[in-house]
Amino acid sequence: MLEGVDRLIDLTGPRTSALSGASQNDVLAAVGRCDAAALGATDGHFAVTARDGKTVRLARTMGIPLRYFVAKMYHGPFLVVAERMDQIFAWCRDERIAWQFDPAYTRMVPAHYIVELDQVGCPDPSPRYHRFFEPAVGLGSSDPGEAGARYIAAAYESVLRWLKTIPGQATVAVAFSGGVDSTSVLLMAVRANEALGGSPDRIRAFTLDMGGGSDAAQAERVVRELGLERQWERVSASPADYDLEAAIRLIEDYHPLDVECAATSVCLLRRIRERYPELTYLLDGDGGDENLKSYPLEDSDLTLSSILRNPLLYQEGWGVDAIKHSLAYSGGLSRGYVRTYAPAAASGFDAFSPYTTRSVIEAAVAIPFEQILAGDVSRLSTLKQEVVSAGIRATLGIDMPINEKRRFQDGATATPHERVTKAWCRRTFNRLWQDRQKEADSLDRRSGNEVVPAGGVR
């Protein structure tokens, strides 16, 4: 491998959101020296890449995506780091090596790990994983009221920290369905804004209505009951705006429920953007279901035993050493949060959910679910409501309305969209990339053995 060529291409740079316990530079330095303990002492979100000689280290938390690809140029590997697959592909096109790219060759950095790669030539580097988030499992109170108080107190502190990082007069949008998670986030945002002396109109809740959807009526009832109707807006969109293929291209994934959620999010966020061109900051409740295991097991191949024996299954998947670990993606919400992040970023929003921060996940993991559920699968459908409502009451002194769980994509329209299969989503994903790769095959090619030009990469 030729020396003297910078073989790390970082297309994003360090990014943080509601970071506490360290500065961005501190996090960058900790990743550079592989200091998992220093990262574990922080909260909030970050995604950073650092070099230490021929070793490159990458690390991220739940709320900010990070992906890498090993390209071959000038007799050796180039590590290309980006937020998205298409950013990496665009760089490869510019360097005339788009023929090397395949989305399956990219790797998503798993949340809560430092990923270590040595750039020492061929064969491709094998990643090493160093975990920096080790929450204690099941050691909290089995009383839903006490568990809820700890859980919501942590979430409220996350909202408060996030609000402190944004301009004091900036309007904050809340994606609001009137369900448990979005209602709790709205209440926490209103209270945190009051604590910071902000104008009540600064916090605005938006509900998507694609034609008589149940969420709009539900949300209106909730804000009236809470006395927040002046801070609420109904956002109308046409069912024709719901575009699954565009959503697959946007989130660069093919899990059906994530695709449907993203397609619905695009409808909401584009309409908000049209109405408020300057609005930047967005709160949502994504991660609440994962934290409190509020998913019907009949919709998956999971069992009660599997989710209890793998406490972070919904947040992180089966783990980086598991047979089911994907090479191109991480697992759980670490993978799925792109359904929220990508639509928000595409519409110019800076999105944040308190339920994705490590302090809140830690409070959730501390709940002794096995003891509380006692083998009763039906309790999964009501436990989140108990925990969150008790926590809001303990933390904010508010009795919050409780509504039945409903998926975002189902509540936005009176006639739910037909469910799509994973097979269809994956075929569409592959076709979209095949079209790009076919175009790339017609471009001028650079060999990986081309001699390095004088003065650098180009």
Would 389 be classed as within a structural domain?
Answer: yes
Residue 331 resides in a domain: yes
Tally of CA atoms within 13 A in the half-sphere of 227 that contains its CB = 4
Residue 387 within any structural domain of the chain: yes
Q: Specify the number of domains making up the chain.
A: 2
Q: Are residues 164 and 205 in the same domain?
A: yes
Amino acid letter at 114?
I
pLDDT at residue 361 in the model? 98
Q: Does 442 reside within a domain?
A: no
The reply to whether 438 falls in a domain is no
Whether 332 is in a domain gets the answer yes
Residue 184's pLDDT is what?
98
Structural domain boundaries, residue 291 = 144-428
Are both 331 and 417 inside the same structural domain? yes
User: Domain ends where: 107, 133, 159?
Assistant: 133
Out of 133, 152, 177, a domain closes at 133
Look at phi and psi of residue 246 and say left if phi exceeds 0, alpha if psi is from -120 to 50, else beta: alpha
127 and 252 assigned to the same domain:
no
Together in a domain, 152 and 201: yes
113 and 176 belong to one structural domain: no
340: CATH = 3.40.50.620
Mark whether 166 and 39 lie in a shared domain.
Answer: no
Q: Is residue 333 part of a domain?
A: yes
368-372 long-range contacts, CB within 8 A, separation 24+ = 368/138, 368/139, 368/140, 368/141, 368/142, 369/138, 369/293, 369/307, 369/308, 370/138, 370/308, 371/138, 371/142, 372/142, 372/144
pLDDT of residue 1: 41
* pLDDT at res. 120: 73
46 with 171, same domain: the answer is: no
Residues 403, 366 share a domain: yes
Is the domain of 251 the same as that of 387?
yes
Asked whether 343 and 273 are in contact (CB, 8 A), the reply is no
Residue 437 lies in a domain: no
Whether 119 and 161 map to the same domain: the answer is no
The DSSP symbol for 452 reads: P
For the chain, 458 residues long, give each residue's pLDDT as a single digit of tens.
445 557 899 999 999 999 999 999 999 999 999 999 999 999 999 999 999 998 999 999 999 999 999 998 887 788 999 999 999 999 999 999 999 999 999 999 999 999 999 987 766 778 999 999 999 999 999 999 999 999 999 999 999 999 999 998 899 999 999 999 999 999 999 999 999 999 999 999 999 998 877 888 999 999 999 999 999 999 999 989 999 999 999 999 999 999 999 999 999 999 999 999 999 999 999 999 999 999 888 778 889 999 999 999 999 999 998 888 888 999 999 999 999 999 999 999 999 999 999 999 999 999 999 999 999 998 988 999 999 999 999 999 999 999 877 676 665 665 667 788 999 999 999 999 999 998 888 878 887 777 766 555 55
The 10 Å Cβ neighbour count of residue 145 is: 14
125/254 same-domain check: no
Q: Tell me, yes or no, whether 94 and 241 share the same domain.
A: no
